């Protein structure tokens, strides 16, 4: 058996010890810092001394699916193709969901490790990611959301609700993520996967700011599981798909730019089409509002005019052409619009106001999608070595760092 594999032009060593990569959805670094300050994360608190604490950049758009796929492929969206939850096909006029693995253009490190004979397990909170993360994978792969519907032929394991001792939690709950960690611990003890990938949901982070009791309790829960993984002897790498920021004013009201309304009023109905790739079947907690949008134009010769108009709107941080966005953010040009629009840190971008159901926003809006949510933690329970100081670290370096740079 070879001592390393190659995936998407990068090399990864075969794990020397059980290795767990955790993607904590929406983990703005301040959540960890504040939980430590509150004395609720003793395991995370000592990582800066006994392990390694780094900061990295996630991929843009700072959404869940593009970043989870980047982490498990070790590559940006220009390579793996998943640049949002859906894209617009101008030829058919359809908005196409990208949950189906047929849209994935690259193999995952997980599938290749399994092909190399390693035992691999994946547990994700929401089922929307399961098919993508498990593409081509011979191993264990299931979601907490559907953990009571496991088929050993499909998911590689069954009986997880009994093993974990928890019923399947609501898809909108902190417990959905806790189920992921509890299942991971159970797998670690019984199946002992060589490589495991755990991915949570940002339900808590969309609702609660860093340092609040609810956020601290969530991080305290994770801290207890991380300590147990460590005690079992696992190599642990913790990163995030994206950060999280308040998107409100001081009264907690959302600051929203409804791009489709603004464009329709200025250029006429159907002259442009705003796509918000954060939209997915689970939008209750953020109303499909993030700080990233892409715009398709009917008349390409109005490109500069539309771009200048958008750039002049208060709350818009930047407007990029497709070419510039693809270069700067390593995006697949065939799956983004003619323009990419970024919202400022405290602003989200909507399409038309009547397309957003904000009735589920029971707490002041917190969201992501922009450059302001690009900084994420890269934490390890071991010292790393051989790192170049000038290297720009990415969240999708998590497997490289955990497998190739252990001290």
Question: In terms of DSSP bridges, do strands 195-199 and 120-124 run parallel, antiparallel, or are they unpaired?
Answer: parallel
Element of type H or E holding 205: helix 203-207
Near its own copies by CB under 8 A: residue from 8, 10, 14, 37: 37
Residue 34 CB, shortest distance to its own copies, in Å, is 6
Which residue in 320, 326, 315, 206 sits closest to 259, CA to CA? 315
Between CA 257 and CA 279 the distance in angstroms is 16
Q: Rule CB under 8 A: say whether 70 interacts with its own copies.
A: no
**Do 122 and 160 touch, CB atoms closer than 8 A?**
no
Q: Rule CB under 8 A: say whether 14 interacts with its own copies.
A: no
Stretch that binds its own copies, among 45-53, 59-67, 301-309, 331-339 (CB under 8 A): 45-53
Q: Rule CB under 8 A: say whether 45 interacts with its own copies.
A: yes
Near its own copies by CB under 8 A: residue from 8, 10, 14, 53: 53
Between CA 25 and CA 72 the distance in angstroms is 14
DSSP string, 53-114: EEEEE-PSS--HHHHHHHHHHTS-HHHH---SSEEEETTTTEEEE--SGGG--S--HHHHHH
Near its own copies by CB under 8 A: residue from 36, 59, 98, 144: 36
Stretch that binds its own copies, among 61-69, 140-148, 375-383, 398-406 (CB under 8 A): 375-383
Q: Rule CB under 8 A: say whether 211 interacts with its own copies.
A: yes
Stretch that binds its own copies, among 3-11, 173-181, 286-294, 340-348 (CB under 8 A): 340-348
Near its own copies by CB under 8 A: residue from 119, 375, 382, 394: 375
Near its own copies by CB under 8 A: residue from 163, 363, 404, 405: 363
User: Is the Cβ of residue 14 or residue 54 nearer to its own copies in the bound state?
Assistant: 54
Q: Rule CB under 8 A: say whether 116 interacts with its own copies.
A: no
Q: Rule CB under 8 A: say whether 209 interacts with its own copies.
A: yes
Q: Rule CB under 8 A: say whether 309 interacts with its own copies.
A: no
Buried b (16+ CB within 10 A) or exposed e, 229-262: bbeeebbbbbbbbbbbbbbbeeeeebbbbbbbbb
Q: Rule CB under 8 A: say whether 311 interacts with its own copies.
A: no
CB atoms within 10 A of CB 265: 10
Residues in contact with its own copies, counted by CB under 8 A, come to a total of 39
Q: Rule CB under 8 A: say whether 33 interacts with its own copies.
A: yes
Contacts of 260 (CB under 8 A, 6+ apart): 272, 273, 274, 350, 351, 352, 355
Between CA 138 and CA 225 the distance in angstroms is 26
Stretch that binds its own copies, among 82-90, 133-141, 278-286, 373-381 (CB under 8 A): 373-381
In the region spanning residues 71 to 100, those forming contacts with its own copies, defined by CB under 8 A, are none
Q: Rule CB under 8 A: say whether 26 interacts with its own copies.
A: no
**Strand ordering across the sheet containing 195-199:** 52-57, 375-380, 235-239, 19-23, 195-199, 120-124, 140-143
Where on the chain is the footprint of its own copies (CB under 8 A)?
Answer: 27, 29-34, 36-37, 44-45, 47-48, 53-55, 209-212, 246, 248-253, 255, 314, 344-346, 363-364, 372, 375, 377, 379, 392
């Amino acid at each position: 058996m070879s001592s390393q594999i190659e995936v998407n032009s990068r090399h990864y060593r075969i794990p020397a010890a059980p290795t767990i990569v955790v993607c904590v959805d929406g983990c703005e670094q301040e959540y960890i810092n504040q939980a430590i300050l509150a004395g609720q994360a003793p395991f995370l608190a000592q990582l800066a001394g006994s392990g390694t604490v780094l900061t990295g950049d996630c991929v843009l758009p700072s959404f869940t699916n593009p970043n989870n796929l980047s982490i498990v492929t070790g590559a940006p969206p220009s390579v793996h193709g998943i640049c949002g939850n859906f894209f617009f096909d101008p030829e058919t006029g359809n908005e196409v969901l990208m949950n189906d693995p047929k849209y994935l253009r690259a193999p995952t490190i997980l599938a290749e490790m399994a092909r190399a004979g390693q035992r691999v397990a994946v547990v994700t909170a929401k089922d929307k990611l399961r098919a993508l993360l498990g593409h081509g994978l011979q191993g264990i792969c299931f979601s907490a959301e559907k953990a009571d519907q496991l088929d050993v032929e499909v998911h590689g394991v069954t009986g997880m609700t009994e093993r974990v001792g928890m019923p399947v939690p609501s898809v909108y709950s902190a417990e959905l993520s806790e189920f992921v960690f509890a299942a991971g611990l159970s797998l670690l003890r019984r199946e002992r996967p060589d490589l495991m990938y755990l991915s949570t949901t940002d339900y808590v982070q969309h609702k609660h700011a860093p340092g609040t009791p609810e956020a601290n309790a969530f991080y305290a829960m994770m801290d207890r599981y991380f300590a147990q993984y460590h005690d079992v002897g696992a190599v642990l790498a913790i990163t995030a798909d994206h950060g999280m920021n308040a998107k409100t004013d001081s009264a907690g009201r959302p600051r929203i730019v409804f791009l489709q309304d603004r464009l329709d009023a200025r250029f006429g109905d159907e002259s442009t089409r705003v796509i918000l790739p954060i939209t997915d079947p689970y939008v209750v907690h953020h109303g499909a509002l993030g700080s990233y949008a892409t715009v398709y134009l009917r008349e390409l010769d109005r490109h500069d005019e539309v771009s200048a108009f958008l750039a002049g709107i208060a709350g818009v941080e930047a407007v990029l052409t497709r070419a510039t966005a693809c270069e700067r953010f390593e995006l697949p040009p065939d799956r983004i619009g003619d323009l990419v629009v970024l919202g400022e840190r405290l602003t989200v971008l909507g399409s038309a106001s009547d397309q957003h159901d904000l009735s589920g926003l029971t707490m002041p809006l917190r969201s992501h999608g922009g450059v302001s949510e690009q900084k994420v933690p890269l934490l390890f329970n071991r010292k790393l070595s051989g790192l170049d100081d000038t290297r720009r670290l990415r969240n999708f370096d998590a497997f490289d760092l955990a497998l190739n740079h252990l001290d």
